[in-house]
Amino acid sequence: MKPPEGLCDWPDYTNLYAWLKVATKGLSDDSRARIRDEITDHFQQALDDGMRAGLSEDDAAQRAVEGLGSPKSARRAFRRTYLTRWQANIVRSFVDARKPTTSSSILSTALDAERGWRRSWQGRLLLSAIMVLLVASRTALMNQHLSLREWQLHIGIVAVMLVATSVLAAVPRIFRNGRERMAIALGSFAELVLWGGFIIAPEIGPFSRTINPPGLSFWLAGVLFIVWAALHLPLLLKLSRRQEST
């Protein structure tokens, strides 16, 4: 087995590398690097002690790895403290506004506009605003004969999406001010609102009543909510546990 990156000059302690691989699986690169450095230092110290006690290098290495216990148990425990790679990506997408969030990623790929902006929040604002505009124009094109109540609903949805856009633009600043949990929670909800609005808006009006299978968009919104909850809720719970205890 290849030694982890940064440990190329190490002897071939296969068991240690296998232990580290299992224990740190799925964690973000930063977390993996920190755990790897500490565990290898621990291992080296245990190895030295074992050899001083008269064991051969192989036996001492074997005993040192056995002393670490089950890597799967360690992984479960590390996952309670550290963000997984997915969760770290979500946080990064909110904090570093130059990176697109999920809702704006399709547009940013198509336009490649975000990188050109000097102030990163302006890029995010622009992309989210385009998304809101798309919803508004899609609504107008697809539903020519809306009743007053339906128009009010559409205007309401677009207004909520505009608020979500502003929130999304403010998230990096909130995060930098030390309100980590609030920033991620707001960003997550803003994303949900943007996608939700995009899916549900066309459902309201005569076009959806005649062409779309009834309720299709609401099913899609349900799936969206489940995906959102699976990705974001564990992250929010993890951040909340950290803040409660400090």
Partner 1 sequence: MNLKGTLPVLILQVLSAGERHGYAIAQEIKESSRGVLDFKEGSLYPALHAQEKKGFITSVDRSYDGRRRRYYRLAKAGAEALDVHRHKWRQLSLAVTEILGAT
CA distance 231 to 228: 5
Closest approach of Cβ 69 to partner 1, in Å?
2
Distance separating alpha carbons of residues 242 and 116, to the nearest angstrom: 36
Is there a contact between 94 and 171 (Cβ–Cβ < 8 Å)? yes
Say whether residue 210 binds partner 1 (CB under 8 A): no
Q: Classify residue 9 as exposed, middle or buried by CB count within 10 Å of its CB (0-12, 13-18, 19+).
A: exposed
Is there binding between residue 156 and partner 1 (CB under 8 A)? no
Contact flag: residue 27 with partner 1 (CB under 8 A): no
Closest distance between partner 1 and the C-beta of residue 78, in Å?
5
Count residues binding partner 1 (CB under 8 A).
27
- Helix ranges (DSSP H) in 97-205: 102-111, 120-142, 148-176, 180-200
* Least Cβ distance, residue 42 to partner 1 (angstroms): 5
Q: What is the smallest separation between the CB atom of 109 and partner 1, expressed in angstroms? A: 35
Q: What angle do CA 218, 222, 82 make, to 5 degrees?
A: 155
63 binds partner 1 (CB under 8 A): no
CB 242 → partner 1: shortest distance, Å? 5
Are the beta carbons of 176 and 196 closer than 8 angstroms? no
Residues 78-137 that bind partner 1 (CB under 8 A): 78, 80-82
Footprint of partner 1 on 32-61 (CB under 8 A): 35, 37-42, 44-46
For residue 71, state whether it binds partner 1 (rule: CB under 8 A): yes
The yes or no reply on residue 157 touching partner 1 (CB under 8 A) is no
| Contact call for residues 42 and 50 (beta carbons, < 8 A) | no
Nearer of residues 63 and 99 to partner 1, judged by Cβ = 63
For 163-177, give the secondary structure using H, E and C. HHHHHHHHHHHHHHC
Q: State the residues that interact with partner 1 by CB under 8 A.
A: 19, 23, 35, 37-42, 44-46, 67-71, 73-74, 77-78, 80-82, 242, 245-246
